[in-house]
Amino acid sequence: MRNKVTVVGGGNVGASCAMNLAFKELADVVLIDVVEGVPQGKGLDMLQSGPIEGYDVHITGANDYEATANSDVVVITAGLARKPGMSRDDLLFANYDVVKSVTEKVAQHSPNAILVLVTNPLDAMCWTAYKTSKFPKHRVIGMAGVLDTARFRTFIAAELNVSIENVTAVVLGGHGDTMVPIVRLSSVSGIPLTELIDQATLDKLVERTRTGGAEIVKYLKTGSAYYAPSAAAVEMVESILKDKKKVLPCAALLEGEYGVNGLFVGVPVKLGSKGIEKIYEIKLTDEEKAMLAKSAAAVEELVSVLKTKGA
């Protein structure tokens, strides 16, 4: 019996995610969107790519959550992008409503699913899905660190003109300007970055990683990144469905780890068939601890805003 993955949101991220899942033949895919015809049309288009690309999975588009019943994994990409004149709080409340509604329906139809959140602001949306679904914490996971790490690795490889496959990087913290790339633990085939790149250049690479999403938005003007975010989500789904037990940086609910309580923050985790099977607590320097605390405080600020509105 094949695995089943639901992707909520038929926009650029969701559609790219569904396509990547099909390419890798990881599961039958259900693409859900509120706009009538969009998921059906995109799903049919992807299905008809199968004979050409050589994948046999079934792809269904739907507006009704009955089609998603008994999904193994649900990837939530639905939500609004920030528009001109919209404050961060406006976006927060708009996407809170979306993610809360989606999660209620998902939990009803797939009570044993693992949730992978992509909607921004990511860490606050993970908290929303966790509170709404009442799923155990190991089954609610945020996609951020895999993307942030990929960006850091891309910039390092380009700077050194080396294979991307040889670059290992570690990024902790919330998804946004306060993320914490751990340069000390990043390397090229085991060679520390500090032996390969001068400090000034490293600082520029770290800053470019932190603003990686904004850089793409600046170019696109009317949209945001979707190829890399969808690829990152699918890497997480693959590790879960194949029980690969990859160690990936993901947003996880911390309960004392790194001195953080009750918040979703990006940390290294082992992803297997049960979802998050282990959280790895790295020994950090005082400077790194301070940066992570600042990042966690930014997440806490968003969650506090939701709480004040009765969320």
* Residue 169: both structure tokens together: 């990087």
Residue 175: active-site member:
yes
The one catalytic residue among 58, 109, 138, 175 = 175
Q: Which of 140, 174, 127 is nearest to 305 (CA)?
A: 127
Residues 33 and 105 sit within 8 Å (Cβ to Cβ): no
167 phi, psi to nearest 5 deg: -95, 125
Sheet holding 73-76, edge to edge: 59-62, 28-32, 4-8, 73-76, 114-117, 140-142, 246-255, 261-272, 275-279
In terms of DSSP bridges, do strands 246-255 and 59-62 run parallel, antiparallel, or are they unpaired? unpaired
* DSSP structure class, residue 25: T
For residues 13 and 188, what is the distance between their CA atoms, to the nearest angstrom? 30
Active site residues: 175
